[in-house]
Each structure stands twice: as structure tokens, then as C-alpha cells.
Amino acid sequence: MSHPANGFQSNLPRRHRSGQAWLLLFQAATLIGILGLTALMLNILNSNFGYVVYVDKVNPQTLAVDGVPLENLPSDTLASIFRENVSNGLFTRYDREIPLTDRSQSSIYELILDFVIVPEVKQQWSLWESLTRRAQIQSIAATDYPEGYLVFESWVDYDFIKSPQSSFVEIAGVRTAILGSLWTIGIAILFAFPVGVGAAIYLQEYAADNWLNRVIRTNINNLAGVPSIIYGILGLAIFVRALEPLTSGAIFSGSAEATASGRTILSAGLTLALLVLPLIIINAQEAIKAVPNSLRNASYGLGATRWQTIWNHVLPGALPGILTGTILAISRAIGETAPLVVIGASTFIQADPSGPFSKFTTLPIQIFQWTSRPQEVFRNLAAAASLVLLALLLTMNATAILLRNRYGNRN
Amino acid sequence: MAIATESPPTDATGQYAIETNSLSVYYNEFQAVRDVNLSIETRRITAIIGPSGCGKSTVLRAFNRMNDLVPGSSTQGEVFFAGQNIYEPDVDPVEVRRRIGMVFQKANPFPKSIYDNVAWGARINGFRGDMDQLVEDSLRNAALWEEVKDKLDQSGLSLSGGQQQRLCIARAIAVRPDIILMDEPASALDPIATLRIEELMRDLAQQYTIIIVTHNMQQAARVSDFTAFFSLAEDGSRAGMLMEYGLTQKMFTNPEHKITEEYITGRFG
């Protein structure tokens, strides 16, 4: 093309080229992100599935009666097999929990599986190995463990989710940790949501734009960036130590029987609440700020008070944004490990949390504990627990997003 | 209540809807409006005209204390409404705003149903009568009833721009104000919608005192009974001042001041 006017150079091809170059860079950046996420998912899946060689302590065929295999035997026969093969103490414990006569055939069979047959993991392979070196694995299993058997195992399954923690890798589960996570997150949100939104309303709608309030706002922004372990130290000092009578539940039960001292779900929940509070405040402030002033003017112009304006127009308009902030807060809180370690989460606990004054563990802590075990097989449990954690996170976020869309579209 | 001696005496019979006495409005240090003395006639339409930045909207918002909501604003002087200076410390601006309603430049219906848009103001102000009747009456008075009577539960935002503005007028009259302030209510509307709003204003003037800020000279000439012309102070301080005030007919045919004539004939502004 000819020069459009004197003094202009024909640089259009060059401008297009530089645009192309930037586009390539952005695509590369996106690709790196996708690769990272894929690697993460593959890594978790790789440890979650794969061949496992089990060796039973007692061969189930020796327990068969009159040629009927164990799993098909009636309840009463299974019950007597259980009684004969375990110690008196163990039998009494389970019989007292639910009398054996009241248990179903399959639950007695499971008891026998867990305490009589006791399959033990001898060796395990990752999903990648299981897919690529199948013949080799089968021959290793056959030669090294002649009495064992090879199973393609999914480490995460229903049993894993419903079973409590155990030091036996075969029966260990994450129920305690899931419940602990749900309890702490629940308390954290219950506390942080109203406080955070309330503070945001005050700062955005009531507080004058003066020196003091600007300092407060800046500091809330800074608080959001404080490393979580520092919140752990804060929680340890305030909730675990200073407020021990409250957080241990001693002042409610009236006795000093509290076994967890201050290291309870309540302390953990409040610590996480402090941790996510700045996040909720900042997001709620932004959401409130985004509500158009014309709406406030319309409301005031009709003779509405400030609170009527906030409650009827500002908050409904800001709710989707506030809930988005809460989603972020939940995501942050559910993955926090360091502050909970500092305030003294239990690393090994089998009893389900029964309330805010229970000892607790959470999923990230469970994962952390399993990965730090010397036996390699616990890595598989850690991977399975990671999958559960991700699923829990996605479920909670999906719930929050559904809530947001529902209230966002109400008008 | 202290009334400055040089101000025109408050008409005890309520001949004037609003009277100001040396009204000045500041935004922080900046004086936006200086020493306005204005008496607004009851049940008439008064137009406020003038070039951009001369404080027209500021004066209008001073009449129902909407300026209170602007951070850094302060008001001096007096504004009498129903025999009371609304800037006295014991006057509640919330009550003032119910009695002196406002329609804004950009139609701003609530993101609620048409019905709720009209009913909400009455509800929060403690209306205990027949709400359906009130909504219908208000929409009829705003010349919107026929268009929306079958879709009262639809969002107010689903209406066209002109309909939204009439909805805002219906919403304003639903709280039974004495005065309606309109801040360039038709500036974002097409000529036909503008005409409808102007017709509506003429109808409403039989019941309400209407004060309208407008940039549109023809509009002021068409709808208003009285016109107040504001302009910037000539000392370079950029404060808005009332230059001329009187019957619209007279001002548009035979203005007293040269600057008014220049503005009206389009030579500046």
C-alpha cells in the first residue's frame, strides 16, 4: 500500500507481527498453567490406583465350612468364626458396640476380613507402572509372594471415606479428618462471615473518609497477606492458651474434665476465621462499592433511612460479590495446615469429633502426617486423601456458587 | 427560629412551597452555590436553567438535603419548607426527603418488580392502606398504568428508558410528597419519551409543586411557569449564582439581564 500521508511510515506489517508475538506469549503462559494443573491431577491419580499384592494372615479358604466359601456363610456361622478367631477383649468390644446377633451378614464378614483374615499390603505399584509393566508385576507377585494375590486397587473408595484413622494402611480412612475439616470450616465461616460483612458495611457505608479509617482499610489489606503460620501463633496465644476455659468447654461443662485443653475444634475454627476475615472484608467492601450510587440515591430520595437503604438495596446488590469472597475464604481455609499444626491439631485420632470442644484433625493435616511416614504405602493414602480434599473443596465451592447464582438472579 | 431580616417574609398561608434565604453550598473549600434567595410557587412548575457547572443540580439537591449524602459538602443559609427551615438541627433529613421527592437524570428503578418499585417507598414509610390501590393510583398518575398493568411482577429494569423514568415518577408520588424535584429527567430520553414526560409534568403540576433542572431551553419554555436562571459568578470564583428569576414567559421574551438573554438565545453556555 502507498503511504497514506507524508510523515507516516508503512509499519502495519510490523505492528501485526508484534501483536502475533504477544499472542504467542499469552498462549504459552496459558499452556504452562494447564500443564501444571494436569501434572497435579495425574500425580494424584497415579498414586490413587494401581496393583497391590496382598498376603492374608489367615487364608479365607481354611475358614470355609463344608465347602461353602466364607462370604456366603450365614450370619450365625460367621459370628462364631469371629468369636473363635479373635481375642476375648476384641470380641467383647465389638459385641458391646452392636451385638453380633444384630449385625448384618456383610458387616460380620467385614469384621472377619479386618481382624481374622487381615490382608496385608506387601507391595504396591503406581497407576503408570501398573499400566506399562503389567506382565513384570504379575511375575514379581507370583514369585515373591506365592501365597499372596494381586489386586488392582483404588485407594480412594467408600471404605476409605467412612473409616476412621488407623495405623494399618489397609483399613485406615479419613472420616475423622473429613468431619474435622467440616467442623472447623463451619465454625470459621459462621464467625467470619457476619463479622466480615458487618465490618465491610461499616467501613464502606458508615465510616467517614478520614485519616483513621484509611489507616484501618490499608491495614486490613495488609492483614490478608500475613503468612498463615503467624495466625497459628496468634491462635495458640489467644484461643488455646488465654481463652482455654472457653475453648476447652470447661466453663460450659462446669468441670475440668476437658481432655483436649484448648486444642479444640473451636480454637481451630476461630483461628481460621481470623485468617479469612480480611479476605471476606476486602471482597465484601469491593462488592458494596460496586453497587451503583444511583440505587442509593433512589432509596434516600424516597425517605429511606441509611439502614433501610443498606438492607434493601445495597446488600442484595452486593450479595453475589460477598458470596464470591466467601467462596475464596472457604477455599483458603480448607487447605490451611500450618496454623492448625501450631495450635495443636491431633495427628492421630480415631474418635469422631462430637462438637466444638473435641480434639480434631483435618484433611490437610492427615495428608501431611501420611506423607511424612517412612513407609511408602502411606503415600497412596495421602494421594487418596488429597482426592477427597479436592472433592470436598469442589463440593463446598459448588454450593456457594449455586447460592450466589440463586441470589444473584433473584431480581 | 431565626430569620434574617433582609429575607422575604415567610408566607404563613403556604403560598410558597420553598423559600431559600442566602443559601450557599460548599464542597469542602469550594463554594458551588452562593447566596441564593428563591421563592418557589406552590403547584407550579419552576425550571432551573443555566450553563454547565453553575450549581443547578446542587441547588435542587439542597431542597431535600440530598447534598448531605455527598462527603465534604456543607450548606449555609436557610431553606424554608412548610414554615420550617429544613437545615435546623432538629429536622430529620429522612422526613424531608419523603415530603420532597426526587427524580434523577438517569432512570434508576430498583432491581425489583414494577409493583415493588412503587410500593417499596410507601411500605418503608409506614403506609398501612390499600397497597394495590396506591400502586395503581401512582402508576395511573404517572401515565404508566395502561402499559404495565398486566406485568406488574416483571422487573422494573425490563421497561424502556422512558417507561423506567415514568416508573421512577410513580415511585416518587407513591409516598405522597408535596414537592417533586426533577434533575434533568428527560435528558437521556428520545423526543417522544421526552414529550410524554413533559405532558405528565403538566398533569402532575395540578397536585404537586415541581422543580425541574434542565439543559433544554425549549423544554423549560414549554413546561415551566417560572424560570430561575443560574450562572457563574463574574468574579472568577466559579460559584453558581441566581441571576434572574421570574415568569417563564417574560424571561424568554423579555429578560431583564443581558447575560440571561445571551444564554437563552444560545450565545453561550
Same domain, A140 and A198: no
What length is written for chain B? Answer: 269
Given an 8 Å threshold on Cβ–Cβ distance, is B108 in contact with A292?
yes
Of all residues in chain A, the one with the smallest CA distance to B64 is: A301
pLDDT in tens, A145-163: 888 888 888 888 888 888 8
State the pLDDT at residue A260: 56
At B24, the pLDDT band (50, 70, 90 cuts) reads very high
Is residue A310 domain-resident? yes
Is residue A1 predicted with pLDDT exceeding 70?
A: no
Residue B4's pLDDT is what? 33
Residue A81: closest CA among A117, A54, A55: A117
Per cent of chain A over pLDDT 90 is 35
The answer to whether residue B12 scores a pLDDT higher than 60 is: no
- DSSP string over chain B: ----TTSPPP-TT--EEEEEEEEEEEETTEEEEEEE--EEETTSEEEEE-STTSSHHHHHHHTTTGGGGSTTEEEEEEEEETTEETTSTT--HHHHHHHEEEE-SS----SSBHHHHHHHHHHHTT--S-HHHHHHHHHHHTT-HHHHTT-TTSBGGGS-HHHHHHHHHHHHHHT--SEEEEESTTTTS-HHHHHHHHHHHHHHTTTSEEEEE-S-HHHHHHH-SEEEEEEE-TTSS--EEEEEEEEHHHHHHS-SSHHHHHHHTTS--
Question: Phi-psi category of A254—alpha, beta or left, where left has phi over 0 and alpha has psi -120 to 50?
Answer: left
Cell numbers for B168, please give them.
421512577
Distance of alpha carbon B160 from alpha carbon B151, whole angstroms: 14
The answer to whether B97 and B65 have CB atoms below 8 angstroms apart is yes
Work out the number of other CB atoms within 10 angstroms of the CB of residue A354: 11
**For A300-313, how does the pLDDT look when each residue is reduced to its tens digit (9 = 90+)?**
999 999 999 999 99
Closest C-alpha to A139, from A131, A150, A128, A129: A150
pLDDT at position B5: 30
The three-point CA angle A115-A120-A124 to 5° equals: 150
Q: Nearest chain B Cα to A298, which residue?
A: B108
State whether A287 and A381 are in the same domain: yes
Among A292, A297, A303, beta carbon nearest to B95: A303
CB contacts of B175 in chain A (<8 Å) are: 302-303
Q: How many C-alpha atoms does A293 have within 13 Å on its Cβ side?
A: 8
* Strand-strand pairing, B209-213 and B179-183: parallel
A216 and A263 together in one domain? yes
Structure-derived torsion over alpha carbons of residues B104, B109, B114, B115, reported in degrees to the nearest 10: -80
- Closest residue in A to B110 (Cα) is A295
Which of B110, B180, B184, B211 is the mutation pick for testing A, counting most A CBs within 10 A? B110
Of chain A, the percentage scoring pLDDT greater than 70 comes to 96
Cα(A349)–Cα(A360) distance, integer angstroms: 7
pLDDT value for B83: 85
Taking the CA of residue A202 and the nearest CA in chain B, the distance in Å comes to: 15
CA dist., res. A229 & res. A242, Å (int):
18
Burial B63-94 (b: 16+ CB within 10 A, else e): bbbbbbbeeebebebbbbbeeebbbeeeeebb
Regarding whether A285 and A357 lie in a shared domain, the answer is: yes
pLDDT at B13: 40
Whole-number Cα distances in Å, A2 to A8, A10, A11: 10, 8, 11
B180 band by pLDDT with thresholds 50, 70 and 90:
very high
Average pLDDT over residues B181-189: 91
Q: Is the residue at A29 inside a domain?
A: no
* Lowest-confidence pick of A85-89, A130-134, A212-216, A237-241: A85-89
Residue A15 lies in a domain: no
The tens digit of pLDDT for each residue in A42-83 reads 999 998 888 988 888 888 778 777 777 887 888 888 888 888
Residue B2's pLDDT band, with cuts at 50, 70 and 90, is very low
- How many Å apart are CA A226 and CA B68, to the nearest integer? 38
Kindly report which listed range (A237-251, A261-275, B121-135) carries the lowest average pLDDT score.
A237-251
3-state secondary structure (DSSP) of residue A134: helix
The beta-carbon neighbor of B66 closest among A292, A294, A300 is A300
What are B207-252's pLDDT values in tens digits? 999 999 998 888 999 999 999 999 988 887 889 999 999 999 999 9
Q: Cβ(B212)–Cβ(B46) under 8 Å?
A: yes
Residues B209, B179: contact at Cβ < 8 Å?
A: yes
Domain presence at residue A40: no
Same domain, A75 and A132: yes
- pLDDT at residue A273 in the model: 95
> What average pLDDT does the segment A20-33 reach?
97
Residue A201 binned pLDDT confidence (cut-offs 50, 70, 90): very high
Q: Name the DSSP class of A100.
A: G
Considering CB atoms only, which of B69, B121, B157 is closest to A302?
B121
Residues B135, B127 contacting (CB under 8 angstroms): no
Q: Give how far Cα B51 sits from Cα of A90, B189, B242, Å.
A: 94, 20, 12
End-to-end CA distance of chain B: 39
Say yes or no: A87 contacts chain B, CB-CB below 8 A.
no
pLDDT of A224 higher than 50: yes
Contact partners, residue B71, CB within 8 Å, separation at least 6: A208, A209
Has residue A391 got a pLDDT over 70?
yes
Q: What integer is the mean pLDDT of B71-80?
A: 92
Q: What is the mean pLDDT of residues B57-78?
A: 92
CA distance A105 to A76: 8
State whether A119 and A221 are in the same domain.
no
Instruction: Judge whether A401 is closer than 8 Å to chain B, CB to CB.
Output: no
Closest CA to A262 of A250, A273, A252: A250
Residue that is last in its domain, among A153, A187, A214:
A153
Q: ∠ CA(A398), CA(A400), CA(A402), 5° rounding?
A: 70
**pLDDT tens profile A328-341:** 898 889 988 889 98
Q: Is A143 exposed, middle or buried (0-12, 13-18, 19+ CB in 10 A)?
A: exposed
Q: What is the mean pLDDT of residues A25-46?
A: 95
Residue in A296, A301, A317 nearest the CB of B97? A301
Residue of B nearest to A293 (CA): B108
CA–CA gap between residue B8 and residue B200 (Å, rounded): 32
Residues A120, A253, single domain; the answer is no
Q: Kindly report the nearest CA distance between residue A279 and chain B, in angstroms.
A: 27
Other CB atoms within 10 Å distance of the CB of residue B235: 9
Q: Assess whether pLDDT exceeds 60 at residue A213.
A: yes
pLDDT of residue A411: 44
- In B, what residues contact A, Cβ < 8 A? 64, 66, 69, 71, 94-95, 97-99, 101-102, 104, 106, 108-112, 120-121, 124-125, 155, 157, 168, 171-172, 175
Domain residue ranges in chain B: 16-264
* CATH code for residues B16-264: 3.40.50.300
Identify the domain containing residue A396 by its residue range: 175-408
Neighbouring-strand partners of residue A120: A55
pLDDT for residue B111 is more than 90: yes
Q: How many alpha carbons fall within 13 Å on the CB side of residue A351?
A: 9
Q: What is the DSSP letter of A254?
A: S
d(CA B220, CA B226): 9
- Across the interface, which of B69, B112, B175 has its CB nearest the CB of A302? B175
- Please tell me the total count of domains within chain A: 2
Q: Work out the number of other CB atoms within 10 angstroms of the CB of residue A332.
A: 16
**Same domain, yes or no, for A140 and A194?**
no
> Could you report the per-residue pLDDT of B26-54, keeping only the tens digit for each?
999 999 999 999 999 999 999 999 998 89
What CATH number corresponds to the domain at position A314? 1.10.3720.10
Tell me how far apart the 2 most distant CA atoms of chain A are, in Å: 105
- Specify whether A243 is located in the same domain as A315: yes
Asked whether the beta carbons of residue B168 and residue A298 sit closer than 8 angstroms, the reply is yes
Residues A75 and A182 in one domain: no
Which chain B residues touch A290 with a CB distance below 8 Å?
A: none
